[in-house]
Structure 1
């Protein structure tokens, strides 16, 4: 674009998913890293015309992050039956809550 430079992807430690981590926060990648970064990006973008709708949109993003992290756990080498049961319970509950929040948003247009 005429004279404008496109932002470049940062490299090096402290960078994940295109977002810069605060100084001193070199975070190790885990099976949950992508889900965490996606959730945080989505929560930052989830805004609306009023506080109630903004809250609902941010909670949807938060719950989707929880579902993604639980799915990552279930897709990992985790073998503890109790933790796998809890992960599945998170998926079930958060999926229901996402549907409830989306329904509320539909019934309360901005």
Structure 2
């Protein structure tokens, strides 16, 4: 039985549901035509989330900047995973390249801001 309509089995805590997927009995296979190996994205996502969790600083502004840098680096890694794949759609490839091109200078801007605003 699912609890409170949130997709978690009744009696299961949020961390337990997150660790086990929380959506028991559901097939999470990728639709046909989406054969990108999960590992390419999984590694980028896990790395990004770890970096974001560790990106804390002495004040809210510096913490925000560090978390955004980690988030942007994750976006680049996921975009590169798509670009290095056999993804045939030119629009998807164009968007992935646009992400890389857009957030790379934003990372430099955030890093520069951190240097100008020491703790």
Residue equivalent to 2:49: 40
State the number of aligned residues.
91
Corresponding position: 1:97 with 2:106: yes
Residue equivalent to 1:76: 85
TM-score by length of 1: 0.76
Residue equivalent to 1:60: 69
- The structure whose Rg is larger is 2
Shift, 1:106, TM fit: 0.4
Higher helix share: 2
DSSP-derived class of the 2:20 partner: coil
DSSP-derived class of the 1:47 partner: coil
Residue equivalent to 1:109: 118
CA RMSD of aligned residues (A): 2.0
Runs of 4+ in 1 over 4 A off after TM superposition: 26-29
TM-score by length of 2: 0.71
Q: Which runs of 5+ in 1 are unaligned?
A: 1-19
